[in-house]
Structure 1
């Protein structure tokens, strides 16, 4: 599959001050001005690349969460779905959203639009967002004809005011002219929702893990599989019994997914656990609330145990270019040459097992992560971002960006050769409070929590609107 690699340059304060002298001054009533340029000027392109700079020309600060920007285009014949990405933004791509809509009154040059929004931030009087380097493409990656698109300006290679893109503030049109001469009904300002759908062609998955046990038929109906087959990773000869996956109550009536791994120091006496969702995920936001532990529930401490939350495309053959994996891996007792607790986030391009060769990149922190943590993974615009408890932990890209649909997995396993020399059984656990995914949408960590709380407030324990392949 063809890979798109986009690099966004850093914008200095000097450049920001020089961005876009207005060609047509906005009227005094307009508080926001939209400046536009494109980095893809051809009549056809692999991707449409509208870049925006939003300027506050009013007399008061503007909360960006109430702002929508609409770029109008004509859908190509046979193109039913499009994909949005933010390549780079001064305000951070983690706060930028994109969704597609259909005009109720199509024009000759537009029947669709990309609607860009923000999850947070304020635009002070006289301030500007700076670069919003955006792009979208057909879901089948066929070239797009953009010469007949209403909002496209092939000569706009530097920023300037552009009225063929509209801006809406709290539902009211404040800049630009729509292609029909009227204004399509703007979307409401974003609020925490119990049934968010994300951009067109996207959807969400939310699971509160309110199951009875590993044999609960709802678990399978909700596309989860409890692993029972033998094989790696971990100690050779280890098993993966279904009973090592349970759903205990962790507070009040709230349940969690619990993974258990037990060993007596032998392969036959080692039992690991894994739960995985079916392969249908690629770009978007993944999140889970996970409880890591630094010591076993019982037995001697010291085994090299791996506690995880990750996405993966299986390796079909050595150095398979379609393989991908993005990992949160916590090693409380070290391992792989590390002497103590360490958190890894690792992004994989591919590997070979024998002889070992890995093509990956990782970021690590050598500290304890015992307890509950909110883990967020954003995959969008050629960048992979890992957050822990709302703080950016790592950012990877380039060849490590995934290309094919992945599954979502949680597993708990022991590193081969890393068991302590004791025959006394020891028992480790890892818990997962909830899982959330927004397909094709970059969701800020704080907004993830808002959405999860919305589901819980509505007593919604499971939602899945992401299409199955």
Structure 2
């Protein structure tokens, strides 16, 4: 018999039922699964087609549930999930995370979460297929020992992929499917921020890059070298402070006329190399169209915010938000955001690709913990990379614009990005709303910059 989801009962009981328990039925949802990579059970990738059917008689917000795929990593050091399609290539209403387990056929699980933009799933309805990919940093794994594995190539009801209440413990809040036998370990809970939180904040209210307060904190690059088009210059004149209403912004530009001699990049990085674990955040405006000249899709360029050590360091690390408005790096002309954790001492660097436009203002929040790096855009988790890519030493904060390759020579064109503010909290992991509240409080107190990071 189908279980009817009783909204009034849920509302009445929500204050007394533990988060790990569910008032709803364990057969409210059925997962349908097909293996898109059934021909390769022993390779470096999982690709699963996952659909969710609502078995109740009421519409249910998808944001109230999560889906968990259970697997073994077979000794791989990286487990990197990605959504490759759901209603559109962007998967914009989905985020993914991973957790550890100790169960038959599972030492990891991948969790699929839905944002409010996913809407509700009508009674009796089934979602469009989610194309879930999991990669292992190039390592070969044996999928056949995964609890959730099946070799079916058509959608089939599959109890080994489970549905739970959003926010529940890994084995709690079961709404559909059958759990693996054993136990799971929830992700670690972050401690509350200390009362004497060490912070770095800059509102970029300077008169210009020659302002003494600016040069006390930041360096504008002028020396030659990579990344980008070999022989291009890194020009101090490509960095400026601009007014927008009552606000001031830092603007970075990159220009070209299609020749190396006519190409210039820009970079601004902190004077201090003192940022390691904590919350990195910035509000940036990415732009798909040029500041001047005609957009040339063959100009492949990068707008970026990141943290890094000197590349010459034996402990080199880097965590990147890299937006390619005209595509590139194998993406054709499709605008793509790359979220990447680099370590030159590792054979592979995990990277999530968001293949859609990010033109406009966005708040980027990166959590760098000893356990790994978690990338958020506008409050939604977009990538989660494991502990082997956590930095070993302190890093710089950095903004850049540079060309990967150039289009045909001809008229000059200048591309640009704007930065509203940047914020760092040492050894504290703040969500996007909390970061925005911190910035608003600093602005309300007329504090244009703050640096208490030792």
- Could you say whether these structures have the same fold, taking a TM-score greater than 0.5 normalized by the shorter chain as the test? yes
After the TM superposition, which residues 28-427 of structure 1 pair with which residues of structure 2 at under 5 Å, given as runs?
133=188, 199=194, 203-221=198-216, 223-251=217-245, 253-277=246-270, 278-301=272-295, 302=297, 303-316=299-312, 320=314, 322-339=315-332, 340-350=334-344, 359-415=348-404, 418-427=405-414
Offset at 1:16?
A: 4.9
Native 8 Å contact 1:312 1:408 kept in 2 = yes
Aligned to 1:220, the other structure's residue is in SS state helix
Structure 1-normalised TM-score? 0.55
Offset at 1:316?
A: 1.7
Offset at 1:133?
A: 3.8
Of 414, 431, 440, which residue of structure 2 is paired with 1:444?
431
Aligned to 2:264, the other structure's residue is in SS state coil
What CA distance in whole angstroms lies between the structure 2 residues aligned with 1:287 and 1:358?
A: 28
Count of residues in Structure 1 that have an aligned counterpart in Structure 2: 280
Structure 2-normalised TM-score? 0.57
Aligned to 2:357, the other structure's residue is in SS state coil
| RMSD after superposition | 3.2
Pair 135,327 (structure 1): closer, same or farther in 2 beyond 3 Å: closer
What CA distance in whole angstroms lies between the structure 2 residues aligned with 1:259 and 1:370?
A: 15
Unaligned segments of structure 1, at least 5 residues = 1-12, 18-86, 93-120, 137-189, 191-197, 352-356
Native 8 Å contact 1:214 1:243 kept in 2 = no
Alignment match, 1:182: none
Native 8 Å contact 2:374 2:381 kept in 1 = yes
Offset at 1:381?
A: 4.1
Q: Residues 259-281 of structure 1: CA distance to partner in whole angstroms, max 9, x if unpaired?
A: 01111112221111000012100
Offset at 1:438?
A: 0.2
Pair 373,16 (structure 1): closer, same or farther in 2 beyond 3 Å: closer
Offset at 1:398?
A: 3.0
Aligned to 2:234, the other structure's residue is in SS state coil
Pair 422,438 (structure 1): closer, same or farther in 2 beyond 3 Å: same
What CA distance in whole angstroms lies between the structure 2 residues aligned with 1:291 and 1:335?
A: 20
Runs of 4+ residues deviating >2 angstroms:
13-17, 130-136, 198-202
